Every structure is written in C-alpha cells, then in structure tokens.
C-alpha cells in the first residue's frame, strides 16, 4: 500500500476536511481528519491496520493502547494483525475520557498494561495533544511505551517531537495549526465548523465570533 492510495481512500470516504476547525487542545486548525466515515468499512479498517502492524513487528509489542472512541476499532485490528504477524498474543485496551484527561478505568485495562511493551495508536495525530495524555495514562498504569502508530498524521509529528523511540504513519496530511489567540482564519473571519472537532465548545465560549459558525457534515 502506498501513501497515495491511503490518501485516496481517506479522501473518497470523506475523512479529509478543509475549513476552520478547533482541535482537542483548543488549537485552531486549517483542516481536520476524522476517520469516523471510514470505520463502518470493516475490511478497509482491517487492511489499514494490517499495513500499520507490519511496521511494528520488531518491537516485541505486547499490547496496543488507544484513546476512545475512534481508536477502539483500530486497537482491536492492530492487535489482531500484530499477533498474527509475530506469532505472539497481543492485547488491546482503550483509555476513556475522564475530566479532561484519559484514563484506563475499565475493569482489567490498567492491570493489562502493567510491565508490558506498549504500542500507542490513534487514528489521526494533529498536535500530539491526545497522544501525550494517552502516554501519561499508560505510564501511570506501569506500561513501557516502545512506539507510536497512526493512520494519518500532520507533517510536524515525528518520533522526536513525540518523545518516543519510534513513530510510523501511513499518510501525511498537511494543514496549518494556530494558537487560538493568533489564528489567521479567525482574523479573516472564516466561519468555525461546529459539528466536527471541538468548534462547538468554542461557540459556547465565543458566541459572538465575527466569522460565525458552520457545519461540515450537514450535506453528507
Ligand atoms: Zn481560528
């Protein structure tokens, strides 16, 4: 599989959006990738996770950890294919959102991570915000993070910037990111998308935003 074919797949499913978005961290974004429209296509999810799993067969990974909720199917398929490729059992857990943090609060999940070699994974890594929280939760549970994987990532994301030994992604997608107080799109009064990402929170705190608000998914 090539980066181009992955990009074409994501584009054909409507996973790659352009506009004025707000990320999990509160940063403003000139584009947004949302793998939700891909997830009903189980074979496509399996195929992408197989391709991603092939890049991590040397790390002796024992468990895959993801953030809820879009990461959950990825964790299952990544662990399934990684287990088959390495002939070792690989488990999967997800962290739930909990008061602005991520937490392995489901019964058995924290214990499953203890003293294990962990692959962190997410559908899309924009600014490392969610991955940072996920990494903290894994470390708190006693897991050893050996690598990070994502289906797609913004161009600035590297192993070095993440602070982990290895990072691989199937597709690079570039768009601008801004601090909210210094956003070119806000200055140009581009409407903020409220039905994808966290624009709805921005709308609650900035109801009088001069650019107004819009929806990205209404026609789809
Ligand atoms: Zn903005």
In tens, the pLDDT along 64-92 reads: 999 998 899 999 999 999 999 999 999 99
Ligand 1 mean position, distance from CA 202 (Å):
10
Ligand 1 mean position, distance from CA 37 (Å):
25
Helix, coil or strand: residue 61 = coil
Ligand 1 mean position, distance from CA 33 (Å):
17
Ligand 1 mean position, distance from CA 128 (Å):
19
Ligand 1 mean position, distance from CA 28 (Å):
5
CB of 133 closer than 8 Å to CB of 101 = yes
Q: Which residues pair with 101 in a beta bridge?
A: 98
Average pLDDT, the chain: 93
pTM of this prediction? 0.87
Buried b (16+ CB within 10 A) or exposed e, 100-134: eebbbeeeebbebbeebebbbbbbbbbbbebbebb
Ligand 1 mean position, distance from CA 167 (Å):
29
Q: Residue 196 and residue 16: Cα distance in Å, rounded?
A: 11
Ligand 1 mean position, distance from CA 125 (Å):
19
Q: What is the DSSP letter of 196?
A: S
In tens, the pLDDT along 94-151 reads: 999 988 899 999 999 999 999 999 999 999 887 677 899 999 999 999 999 999 999 9
In this structure, the strands spanning 144-153 and 167-172 are parallel
Ligand 1 mean position, distance from CA 114 (Å):
40
């Amino acid at each position: 599989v090539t980066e181009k074919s992955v990009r074409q797949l994501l584009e054909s499913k409507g996973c790659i959006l352009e506009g004025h978005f707000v990320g999990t961290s509160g940063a403003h974004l000139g584009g947004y990738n949302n793998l939700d429209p891909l997830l009903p296509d189980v074979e496509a999810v399996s195929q992408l996770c197989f391709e991603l799993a092939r890049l991590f067969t040397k790390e002796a990974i024992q468990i895959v950890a993801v953030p809820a909720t879009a990461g959950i199917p990825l964790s299952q398929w990544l662990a399934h294919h990684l287990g088959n490729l390495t002939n070792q059992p690989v488990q999967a857990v997800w962290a739930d959102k909990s008061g602005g943090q991520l937490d392995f609060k489901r019964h058995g999940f924290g214990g499953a991570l203890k003293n294990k070699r962990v692959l962190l994974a997410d559908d899309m890594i924009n600014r490392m915000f969610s991955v940072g929280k996920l990494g903290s939760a894994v470390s708190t549970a006693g897991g050893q993070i050996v690598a990070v994987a994502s289906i797609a990532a913004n161009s600035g994301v590297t192993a070095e910037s993440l602070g982990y030994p290895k990072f691989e992604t199937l597709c690079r997608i570039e768009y601008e990111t801004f601090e909210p107080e210094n956003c070119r799109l806000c200055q140009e009064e581009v409407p903020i998308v409220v039905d994808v990402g966290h624009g709805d929170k921005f709308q609650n705190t900035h109801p009088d935003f001069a650019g107004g608000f819009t929806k990205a998914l209404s026609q789809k």
